[in-house]
């Protein structure tokens, strides 16, 4: 019995060394890996809108935020870029209605270990242009105002 030539597919071959599923995709789309648009029933949710806007900030040159993201080389990991479901599995439901996606390191892109849900204040505090060096360390400006109050 011959097995499909697609890695990790152990189904018996139908034609051209592909199983039925991969052969059908190859025949219809010219690509055995082609997948139709996913259906998740979450279009219009706050999480979906966050995901959609994240993608467009990074890849749509007509997006008003593109100059701050895409032009700077900020990207979205392939897993999230290709699938809202994957983004939702990794990030989960927003912990509160107005939660925003926040990149922990603003010089890096959007990927699971670099993203978290945050309040607007946390997100604003984590902006690139919101940092100042003080006492041999770099701090968000809001933190420096707390230092000043303590002295």
Per-residue confidence (pLDDT) for residue 29, from 0 to 100: 82
- Number of residues assigned to the chain: 151
State the alpha helices, DSSP H only, in 31-151: 46-59, 78-82, 84-91, 120-125, 141-150
What is the enclosing helix (H) or strand (E) of 132? Answer: strand 131-134
As a whole number of angstroms, the distance between CA 65 and CA 52 comes to 13
Per-residue confidence (pLDDT) for residue 35, from 0 to 100: 67
User: Could you read off the pLDDT tens digit of each residue along the chain, which spans 151 residues?
Assistant: 899 998 888 899 988 899 998 898 888 888 887 766 667 889 899 999 999 999 999 999 999 999 999 999 999 999 999 899 999 999 999 999 999 999 999 999 999 999 999 999 998 888 766 545 556 665 555 554 455 555 5
CB atoms inside a 10 Å sphere around CB 11: 13
Provide the phi-psi class of 94: left if phi over 0, else alpha when psi is between -120 and 50, else beta: beta
Per-residue confidence (pLDDT) for residue 126, from 0 to 100: 81
User: What are the CA-CA distances from residue 37 to residues 48, 56, 82, 95 (Å)?
Assistant: 14, 17, 10, 27
Residues sharing a CB contact under 8 Å with residue 36, sequence separation 6 or more, in sequence order? none
DSSP reduced 3-state for 128 = helix
Per-residue confidence (pLDDT) for residue 55, from 0 to 100: 95
Per-residue confidence (pLDDT) for residue 101, from 0 to 100: 97
- Summarised one tens digit per residue, pLDDT across range 69-79 is 999 999 999 99
pTM to 2 decimals? 0.64
Residues sharing a CB contact under 8 Å with residue 76, sequence separation 6 or more, in sequence order? 54, 55, 58, 59, 109, 110, 111
The residues that bridge with 110 in the sheet, in sequence order, are 76
């Amino acid at each position: 019995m011959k097995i499909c030539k697609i890695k990790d597919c152990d189904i018996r071959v139908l034609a051209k060394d592909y199983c039925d599923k991969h052969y059908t995709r190859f025949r219809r789309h010219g690509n055995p890996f082609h997948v139709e648009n996913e259906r998740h029933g979450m279009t219009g949710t706050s999480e979906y809108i966050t995901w959609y806007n994240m993608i467009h900030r990074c890849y749509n040159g007509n997006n008003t935020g593109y100059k701050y993201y895409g032009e700077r080389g900020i990207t979205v990991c392939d897993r999230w870029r290709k699938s809202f479901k994957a983004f939702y599995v990794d990030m989960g439901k927003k912990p509160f209605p107005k939660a925003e996606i926040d990149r922990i390191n603003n010089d890096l892109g959007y990927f699971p270990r670099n993203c978290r849900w945050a309040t607007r204040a946390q997100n604003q505090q984590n902006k690139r242009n919101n940092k100042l060096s003080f006492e041999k360390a770099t701090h968000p400006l809001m933190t420096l105002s707390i230092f000043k109050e303590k002295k």
